[in-house]
A and B are shown apart, each in its own frame.
Chain A
């Protein structure tokens, strides 16, 4: 609860700091505020399950851990912005303020107990993202991405709200416990309005985390948005979104598992298939990362479909591994795209990575580790993420789904390794790229986290 209040206030403070003549204070101030929020997050640590705001918001160690992942990802991403100094048109104060506000939304949907909190949280998160996507005002690609994101996101919100209305009609409650109380009765198991409401609500939520067949906006939006905000979207929105879906299904609808698991299983397989297979055909690294984020949504959905006692932990570990690897991949991409820009536009194709390793061994190494982690190769965090997810599916006996998932991760190795091969094997004339010290620290930290949790995943369990 504390980070919600703190971030709301500090977001406004950042907006006011924008009035100062020197823009240099914004970046350190935002980082400080994020660190404060992260610290305040742990005030409730080990206090047991707590309820705040008249029982509408709950805090447990696991939701705090999700908050921590979101806040640490945001910290790393903000550290990579370098104060938006390269861009004349940029409005750093607004960007940082909106980023802080969107984190409020993310934390709200991680711990909601009441659908009002969920709805308000998801809207805070999404509306902030629409703005950030379109922040490159003169760029037509950014404009298009933001309009597409906005229209699709608002459409999904409409569907979600209709689902919530139907759920309310069936159960007479907005709180998760109230809904669970109704679901466990005999009438609940028979109520078609309840089923319809659950399906519509799930469709709306799956839109936001870009699961197929509701993914079609993802590649365009991720491609068109400025890279730094693409990183923000693909890590924070996804982590928070999956925490929210897990909460809904496990706290309210575990009683009618047999009803929703088939729907979710079909969506999972479709997401895995679309994400991985279409990613193979991409020429742009950034667009490949968009499809890769769809495929990772698929792996996370496996854990949701299985819904065992270990699910929340496996989602937590997976989103941590995925976020860290994605941040470092985008970090390297942003440097190279800027270095190799064509006609004033950043070059995000695979070719831009040719011969990277010769002059920039550090960047090539960071990129390789993050690709290995995303592909799920042993000794990286991504491997253990996949391992936990797959083992929870095996516990549930979803063997056919596992077969699909393993095949699809084999496909994933192909497109993740393409960029590694380009940077080590291919000829290219990448000069030495100057990396700011702060930026370098972020890249190294992300890589160290990936390897550390890859070598000792048990360490993570002890932290909880």
Chain B
């Protein structure tokens, strides 16, 4: 059976008072904040946090769409994103620790060995 064929109860009316558009605007705002953070910050950990913000903006959007469509597929996708993001965090922090051991800093400005 297609996963999306499972039915989900419709969301309560009180929540439907908030239009779906608002969720779209909120998560787009979060996403843009994340992008700006990645592009402007110099500390690897802060850049990393901004990336997590982007992922969570996508999660929020998926859940909002999923609820308003009464379709569980979107929520299942969020679980996958959370699991994969956790794996990515593990690898990412390991890389940052490795760099910290060698350079005693996490400032990306110090990473300038490779240039064209």
**Is B65 a contact of A127 with CB atoms below 8 Å?**
no
Tell me whether A151 and B48 are in contact in the complex, defined as CB-CB below 8 angstroms, given that A141-B114, A164-B58, A168-B74 are known contacts: yes
- The number of residues on chain A lying at the interface, defined by a beta carbon within 8 Å of a beta carbon of chain B, is 49
Give the distance in Å from the alpha carbon of A55 to the alpha carbon of B3 in the complex.
10
Bound complex: CA A143 to CA B110 (Å): 12
- In the assembled complex, the Cα of A144 lies from the Cα of B100 at a distance in Å of 11
Contact B114 A123 (CB under 8 A): no
A220 touches B114 (CB 8 A): yes
CB nearest neighbor in A for B116? A219
Which stretch (A152-160, A318-326, A353-361) binds chain B? A152-160
Evaluate contact between A159 and B54: CB separation under 8 angstroms. yes
Flag if A127 contacts B87 (CB, 8 Å).
yes
Indicate the member of A116, A162, A178 with the most B CB atoms within 10 Å: A162
Is A444 in contact with chain B by the CB < 8 A criterion?
A: no
Which residues of chain B are within 8 angstroms of A119 by Cβ–Cβ distance? 77, 80-81, 84
From B4, B80, B92, B96, A173 is in contact (CB under 8 Å) with: B4
A-B contact count (CB 8 A): 137
Give min CB distance, B24 to chain A, whole Å.
7
Is the C-beta of A287 less than 8 angstroms from some C-beta in chain B?
yes
Does B29 count as interface, using CB distance less than 8 angstroms? no
Contact A141 B113 (CB under 8 A): yes
A130–B113 Cα distance when bound, in Å, is 18
**Bound: A154/B86 CA distance, A:** 12
Contact B76–A147 (Cβ < 8 Å): no
* Best-surrounded residue of B2, B51, B55, B71 (most CB of chain A within 10 A): B51
Residue of A nearest to B89 (CB): A154
Q: In the complex, what distance in Å separates the CA atom of A127 from the CA atom of B115?
A: 24
Counting chain B residues whose Cβ lies within 8 A of the other chain, the interface size class is 35 or more
Digitize A159-189: 1 where CB-to-B-CB distance is under 8 Å, 0 elsewhere: 1011011101100111100100000000000
Instruction: State whether A147 and B1 are in contact (beta carbons under 8 Å apart), knowing that A162-B58, A172-B71 are contacts in the complex.
Output: no
> In the complex, what distance in Å separates the CA atom of A157 from the CA atom of B38?
13
Check if A169 sits within 8 Å of B65, measured CB to CB: yes
Q: Is B99 close to A, CB under 8 A? A: yes
**Contact assessment for B113 and A224 in the assembled complex, using a CB-CB cutoff below 8 Å:** yes
> Closest A-chain residue to B110, C-beta based?
A144
Chain B contacts of A223 at CB under 8 A?
114
A144 to nearest B CB, angstroms?
Answer: 4
Instruction: Tell me which of A42-50, A131-139, A391-399, A448-456 binds B.
Output: A131-139
Bound CA span A282–B55, Å: 36
Q: Which of A150, A165, A169 has the most CB of B within 10 A?
A: A165
- Kindly provide the distance from the CB of B20 to the nearest chain A CB, expressed in whole angstroms: 8
A154–B48 touching, CB < 8 Å: yes
* Contact residues in B for A134 (Cβ distance below 8 Å): 95, 98
**Residues of the A chain whose Cβ atoms lie less than 8 Å from the Cβ of B95:** 130, 134, 143, 146-147, 150
In the assembled complex, 12 residue pairs joining A and B whose CB atoms fall closer than 8 Å, in A order, are A131-B91, A141-B114, A147-B99, A147-B111, A157-B88, A158-B54, A162-B61, A165-B58, A165-B62, A165-B65, A168-B65, A224-B113
Q: Interface residues, chain A, CB within 8 Å of chain B?
A: 54-55, 115-116, 119-120, 123, 127, 130-131, 134, 137-138, 140-141, 143-148, 150-151, 154-155, 157-159, 161-162, 164-166, 168-169, 172-175, 178, 193, 219-220, 223-224, 278, 281-282, 287
